Amino acid sequence: MSDEGKFVRRKESAEMELRKAKANEAEICYQCIEDARAYHKSLGFEQWRPDYPTRETILEDIAQNMGYTFVDEQGIVGYCCIIIGDEPAYRQIEGAWKTNRPYAVVHRMAFNKKARGGGRSKEAFDLIKELCLSKNIHAIRVDTQDENKGMQHILVREGFAYCGLIQFGGGPKLAYEWDNELPVYRGDGKAGRASGRTK
């Protein structure tokens, strides 16, 4: 994908696409955050602090070319921040990352309430992996709350391995890493490759 914000297609029949967010889309992106925040609250936990992320956070992401939207036939249905490069909060970990290779970080992934479910998370991570591989980045790091069992399940399903605890956003977070070159041991005890390619 070019820096002009053209779509990334996972395959010709993909129902969802990933592209750079634009400043005039910040409010729609923030609504995805608010919908996700309300959903987390309904499950009894908070993924983010009440004062973070804000609209200004989204605008800063976009200004730094790190804001991305998930788009389908309905328009923008989700948002995330993708950092290609170092995340200072990840330098200290109670545990160990799987690799020392260059990596990308995914923060603030959220979908609006109308787009929840239906395999969106799998397609989203497929698109993110494809974007990173196109930039010769073969490792992706993510963190989540201990209470966010749904995201933990998704991360393991998508080939991310638990690495330990990091401090981010005012408290401890569970840290996960995907590496395209390393085998991943899934819940069935079988080893598989952490490939970003869709079968």
Could you tell me the residue range of the domain that residue 76 belongs to?
Answer: 17-193
Domain assignment present for residue 11? The answer is: no
Q: Does residue 192 register a pLDDT over 70?
A: no
Is there a contact between 190 and 162 (Cβ–Cβ < 8 Å)?
Answer: no
Domain assignment present for residue 135? The answer is: yes
Domain assignment present for residue 71? The answer is: yes
Is there a contact between 29 and 79 (Cβ–Cβ < 8 Å)?
Answer: yes
- State pLDDT tens for residues 40-79: 888 888 888 888 899 999 999 999 999 999 999 889 999 9
- State pLDDT tens for residues 109-154: 999 988 777 778 899 999 999 999 999 999 999 999 999 999 999 9
Is there a contact between 33 and 107 (Cβ–Cβ < 8 Å)?
Answer: no
Domain assignment present for residue 151? The answer is: yes
3-state class (DSSP) for residue 29: helix
Pairing mode, strands 17-20 and 67-72: antiparallel
CATH code at position 128: 3.40.630.30
Question: Is residue 191 very low, low, confident or very high in pLDDT (cuts 50, 70, 90)?
Answer: very low
Burial of 182 (0-12, 13-18, 19+ CB in 10 A): middle
3-state class (DSSP) for residue 45: coil
Q: Cβ atoms within 10 A of the Cβ of 63, count?
A: 11
Domains: count for the chain: 1
3-state class (DSSP) for residue 20: strand
Domain assignment present for residue 154? The answer is: yes
Domain assignment present for residue 115? The answer is: yes
User: Rounded CA gap, 47 and 31, in Å?
Assistant: 15
Burial of 120 (0-12, 13-18, 19+ CB in 10 A): middle
Is there a contact between 32 and 21 (Cβ–Cβ < 8 Å)?
Answer: no
Burial of 72 (0-12, 13-18, 19+ CB in 10 A): middle
Q: Which residue type occupies 166?
A: I
Domain assignment present for residue 5? The answer is: no
pTM: 0.85
Give the pLDDT of residue 14. 58
Domain assignment present for residue 6? The answer is: no
Pairing mode, strands 139-144 and 104-111: parallel
